[in-house]
Structure 1
């Protein structure tokens, strides 16, 4: 009987044990069936759950605009003042260096406080648990998630050191206003590096993670400062501040500065941002999918702001009267660096970048390539041609304003922008040669090789025209425009860096470039581009106007910069008699004045042309014409 009783008790015990095992297994499955793995290193947690973000920097490294959240550069514990970490430890996890991921004492204290209050008044989460919740788990507030937080926090502390976890926490916690990490928050609210934070500023930032949206000091300064006072009190109680230090710190509360950076900048720098991202994608390649990019550019912010202001003001003041709705401009340094770019009058209303994406007829600004081809074909600036009506098939070019001037040199024909002579020169040297010259200097758009190409009938880009004229400024050396200098992640990992030494290509002979430069200087000195003259600086350039004033250009350069300006309308409608020597030349001059502010004058490499009187011009043209005709007759040639 006793044996049977023991057997029954053993069976019952076995059933209880089996049931217990089943319950335990079920509980385990309930709590941990979807538990993610613990990262094996701190490196694995740096980029996890980072939203795509791109930061645009100018040539000085200053932040211009941000798309997406603001992630600061990694702040190392050793680079931060001790009071920064102490502020967070005091208010978030005072026993951080004593527990192993879970503060059981703090958890019990929080549980009792919540029971007494009848609601959640304390969280009990350690810094390690908060890191787990933010980077590994979801922010779901359930008992199951809390159990998972505890288990993963303990596991994480077996993989990472306390210092690594604290550093990760400071760099990944959310501080409101799209700012993630202590460095981003310091710059967002105080316009300084985290390494420069005062005790009061550190206390204010340590107050934010509890309720970053509600406590953001830009929206709720009083409540944020009240919470910061609690942080200072906690620092005093933890022994991080002496009573006197606490009194001094609490006497002057930190406030966000008015000039602190705010994410955005799209309205002012939107076209540039789009261009920078496109260039970064091209440089990195399609397979390099990095969620966070910091793109450093060649942009001169002061010049960019000035150029945008000039374009906006000129279009607002003069645009309605002449029916000019849009403009674009590109300013290049002598090495090809894009120092400023205006893609249009307003990015918000139109994201189309007219400096890069638009293709417009350059008109007479294209004559640069015609006369360069002529110079290579052994013509010279003093070669004489006859301004007379000509026809090539069904095309009969006419001069602006009508009429003909008779015989004149090639130099004068460029200066006066005589269409009939440019058409003749183009046909003499060959339209294919003209097109090849344009491509050699930097034109990237397709060119229709027909007689009217000599007068700019094919569409080109603003940036390509600036680059082509830069070749002349550089004595025939081509340096393609570039905008991006460095691409890195927010952690500082360099993905691309432009080489210091840039290889240049001599695309035309130096002598031909200088002869062309002298001719282009004449355009500004006493030709169609007089309104582009830059006080105190020698410049060269060319006007351009397409048929019916649909497009008007001025493209030119100084010793330091090359710039192209276009005005027109997006719908290709005609302006009211706007020529390249008018509104575009005015805009060009005002932008270049800003570019050369404080810059010492430097001579162009080519000599300036001698400005002749009108009588001298007539005499030179007459005798040059007789001499040229005589030479051709003697050589068996025919007169032009």
Structure 2
């Protein structure tokens, strides 16, 4: 039974077979080997791979031949490098993602990044409210890719980054191309062409999110230099920041940030400021030619600025137009039309206006509202651009026609109204220079005989008459510590008894010294100081001959005080200063008329005396056809300085001429070339105006009894001082009790 069951189970193939001993062996009596079933390999090990790399094969092939043995180390090294490399790649990718994520979380809303200036701007308006100059970092306002001219948007992309809308913030192809070009041109791989995308350039403009800190950088220039460094490490950080920007902002937002923050020359930051600065229009109005010129500035803003070299700017614009055509932004017809009708500068930009006058304005306002302002400021000034052009043309005319070409002589001109409002200023022979030495306001020079009107002003205020006489003869004073001092006339001659009017007309030195000594040097210094000559005045008797130094603007302002009837004047150029956005000015006029210095009658008589200087004295070359004019020439010792200052009923003008190094002028006196510059200026200034009479008054004739005639003369150095003492006393009493 047992055997039968076992036999049956075996016949069905499901059991282990019979356990009978004779059934376990073959018929031949030998032992039969039983094979064990194969175990199925798992999916992870089926092809010899594990989770951490390829499993070591069970069978290692032996190298074949010598070459095989030589390649064994190479294969081993390759496997090690591969194993390390892909693991390092994973780690680097994770680190990069972390760095990008870090910067992503730090980035603000893109609207906060549109105005990236640390400094504010100053816009200068003339007396009519027209812009004539800019200072500081000009920012015209926010533009976006939606509001700016499509020509400008396309020009920027075509010029700066034609793959802008296709890359992720970094262009490996652009970097490789830049490195190749740099090396082919003999530069370092990172010197010259950078291969930076617009996104990377924007990241650099943002200084990779680092704000200016005075505790770290001594100056903003140092901060900007640090932001622009081109080291390999800096480039890597820039690329990471750029990728974070690409993740945070849209392409149009990045382009908008770039268009608002990029420096575009001429002090203009951003497309709107540049469009206003160069073309006098908004950035949404520029045509293809103007857009190409603006986009071309991004490569080298200062060198390519159209105010520096318009032809160079147009050549660059032609290149931009070609790129726009190649990339499909312009048709050939549109490109040709833009080249045939190139961009033109606005009148203000074409004039490169500002110059010495704008520099002076920036020096007169507080620095926190001027060159160091963090706000946008608008300053309305006293400048009259027609008069400014008149002064510039006059200087150019005289130097081109009356001065030898190799001469290094300089000249300065100031034109102002009787209240001290400066209307025009030329600070040197290069009439439109900026940021250079201004001889009209910064050069202190001896005034010579142009100081004499203040000597006679003091005398007239004390009761002297222009008809009073003084003896022009040899005259000496003993100067303690120096010995005798004997003034001489320019002609080395003496003219005997002369009136005060004649002495001033012919610029006689001896009478001027005698009058100064009679009224008192302190009185002369006081009168001159009250009229606005703030420079230190000489203590000795040479005070009367202009031994003291002053600036042209001071002297011109003092003459304005004579014209306005004897009141002091503070020359000024600012009428109102306003912070953009405020409705009321922060500052009003910075100068004007002050207190009375001499009586109106004295001022009118002095004007009458000074009119004789131009009508028939040392200033005859300053005559203006059809106009009454008064003035005074001045020439210092050895002719180192030559002056002519004078006025009509409408304007006061002062001219100085000389060398910066005090080299004596050759054949030049105040009544010569300075008088001619003055005349050429005033002829142009008064063009189209109706002549007006000077506010002068002729003195009443002196009528004295016959027996008193010998005493009717001003002091001659020794005696005859009774009348002068009486006049001095009367002047003192008048000052105490009034007129």
Q: Shorter chain as normaliser: what TM range?
A: 0.7 to 0.9
Matched, 1:535 2:625: yes
Residue 505 of structure 1 pairs with residue 594 of structure 2: yes
Match of 1:338 in 2: 422
Partner secondary structure for residue 604 of structure 2:
helix
Aligned CA distance change for structure 1 residues 403 and 569 (closer, same or farther; 3 Å)? same
- When the two chains are superposed, the root-mean-square deviation of aligned CA atoms in Å is 5.4
Q: How far has the Cα of 1:107 moved from its partner? A: 3.9
**Counterpart pick for 1:448 among 516, 521, 538:** 538
Deviations 1:145-172 (A, max 9, x none): 44433434555x5xxx999877644322
- Alignment partner for residue 595 of structure 1, among 678, 685, 688? 685
Is the CA contact (8 Å cut-off) linking 2:619 and 2:633 kept in structure 1? Answer: yes
Structure 1 residues 148 and 522, CA, compared in 2 at 3 Å: closer, same or farther? same
- Correspondences of 1:42-121 after superposition (within 5 Å): 42=111, 45-48=114-117, 59=127, 71-75=138-142, 83=150, 107=168
Tell me the distance in 2 between the aligned counterparts of 1:173 and 1:144. Answer: 20
Deviation at 1:356, TM superposition (A): 2.0
Alpha-carbon distance in structure 1 between the residues aligned to 2:720 and 2:636: 38
Closer, same or farther in 2 for the Cα pair 1:130/1:462, shift >3 Å? closer
Question: What 5-or-longer segments of structure 1 have no aligned partner?
Answer: 1-18, 94-101, 236-245, 611-619
Give the Å deviation of 1:432. 0.8
Instruction: Please state how far the C-alpha of 1:430 moved relative to its aligned partner.
Output: 0.5
Confirm whether residue 629 of structure 1 aligns to residue 710 of structure 2: yes
Does 2:446 correspond to 1:361?
Answer: yes
2:323 equivalent among 227, 232, 247: 227
Task: Kindly indicate whether the alpha-carbon contact (under 8 Å) linking 2:122 and 2:138 is maintained by their aligned counterparts in 1.
Answer: no
In 2, the alpha carbon distance for the partners of 1:546 and 1:583 equals 15
For 2:557 and 2:138, the matched residues in 1 are separated by: 35
Deviations 1:391-428 (A, max 9, x none): 22122222221332222322222222222221111111
The alpha-carbon distance between structure 1 residues 501 and 436, as it changes in their structure 2 partners (threshold 3 A), is: closer
Offset at 1:363?
A: 1.7
Q: Is the 8 A contact 1:384 1:628 kept in 2?
A: no
For residues 33-57 of structure 1, give each alpha carbon's deviation from its aligned partner in whole angstroms, at most 9, with x where no partner exists: 788943478456513467x987766
For this pair of structures, how many residues does the alignment match?
Answer: 586
SS of the residue corresponding to residue 314 of structure 2 reads coil
Q: 2 CA distance for matches of 1:190 and 1:452?
A: 55
What does residue range 502-581 of structure 1 map to in structure 2 within 5 Å? 504-508=593-597, 509-581=599-671
Counterparts of 2:410 and 2:518, CA distance in 1: 36
For residues 504 and 397 of structure 2, the distance between their equivalents in structure 1, rounded to whole angstroms, comes to 31
Q: CA deviation at 1:311?
A: 2.9
Offset at 1:572?
A: 2.8
> 499-508 or 403-412, which moves further after superposition?
499-508
Equivalent residue, structure 2, for 1:385: 470
Could you tell which deviates more after superposition, 504-513 or 567-576?
567-576
Note if 1:257 corresponds to 2:343.
Answer: yes
| 1:284–1:496 Cα contact (<8 Å) kept | no
> Does the 8 Å CA contact 2:290/2:343 hold for their aligned counterparts?
no
| CA apart distance, 1:537 | 1.7
Alpha-carbon contact 1:48-1:135 (below 8 Å) kept: no
The correspondence for 1:134, drawn from 196, 205, 211, is: 205
**Structure 2: distance between partners of 1:581 and 1:362:** 14
Distance, in Å, in 2 between the alignment partners of 1:524 and 1:196 is 54
Aligned equivalents of 2:497, 2:654: Cα separation in 1: 31
CA distance in 2, matches of 1:329, 1:623: 45
TM-score (norm 1): 0.73
1:583 aligns with 2:645: no
State the 1:336 CA deviation: 1.9
The answer to whether the Cα contact below 8 Å between 2:126 and 2:132 also exists between their aligned partners in 1 is yes
Stretch deviating more after TM superposition (397-406 or 497-506): 497-506
Q: Aligned partners of 2:462 and 2:105: how far apart in 1?
A: 73
Q: Give the C-alpha shift of residue 439 in structure 1.
A: 0.8
| In structure 1, distance between residues paired with 2:153 and 2:370 | 43
- Asked if 1 retains the 8 angstrom alpha-carbon contact of 2:575 and 2:589, the reply is no
Secondary structure class of the residue paired with 1:586: helix
Q: Which runs of 5+ in 2 are unaligned?
A: 1-87, 182-193, 209-226, 306-311, 479-483, 725-739
Report what 2:85 is aligned to: none
Report the Cα offset of residue 191 of structure 1. Answer: 5.6
**Aligned partners of 2:359, 2:590: CA distance in 1, in Å?**
27
The question of 1:407 aligning with 2:491 is answered: no
Counterpart position of 1:421: 511
Q: Determine the C-alpha separation between the residues in 1 that align with 2:300 and 2:370.
A: 40
Counterpart Cα distance in 1 of 2:247 and 2:607? 73
**Residue number in structure 1 paired with 2:737:** none
Match in the other structure for 2:286: 197
> Quick one: distance in 2 between partners of 1:148 and 1:376?
76
Q: 1:271 to 1:201 in 2, by over 3 A?
A: closer
Does the C-alpha gap of structure 1 residues 282 and 423 become closer, same or farther in structure 2, counting only changes over 3 Å? Answer: farther
Query: What secondary structure, in the 3-state scheme, does the structure 2 residue paired with 1:329 have?
Result: strand
SS in 2 for 1:253: helix
How far residue 373 of structure 1 moved from its aligned partner, in angstroms, is 0.9
1:186-240 residue CA offsets vs partner (Å, 9 max, x unmatched): 3566564435324675577568869989999623344311333367x569xxxxx
- Stretch moving more, 203-212 or 128-137: 203-212
Would the aligned equivalents of 2:420 and 2:592 in 1 still touch at CA under 8 Å?
no
Query: What SS does structure 1 have at the residue aligned with 2:485?
Result: coil
Structure 1 residue 584: Cα displacement = 1.6
**For 2:425, what is the secondary structure of its paired residue?**
strand
**Structure 2 residue aligned with 1:10:** none
- CA–CA distance in structure 1, aligned partners of residues 436 and 592 of structure 2: 33
> 1:284·1:495 contact (CA, 8 Å) conserved in 2?
no
Question: 1:347-399: CA deviations, max 9, x gaps?
Answer: 88994332222222222211111111112212222223222322221222222
Distance 1:418 1:208, change over 3 A: closer
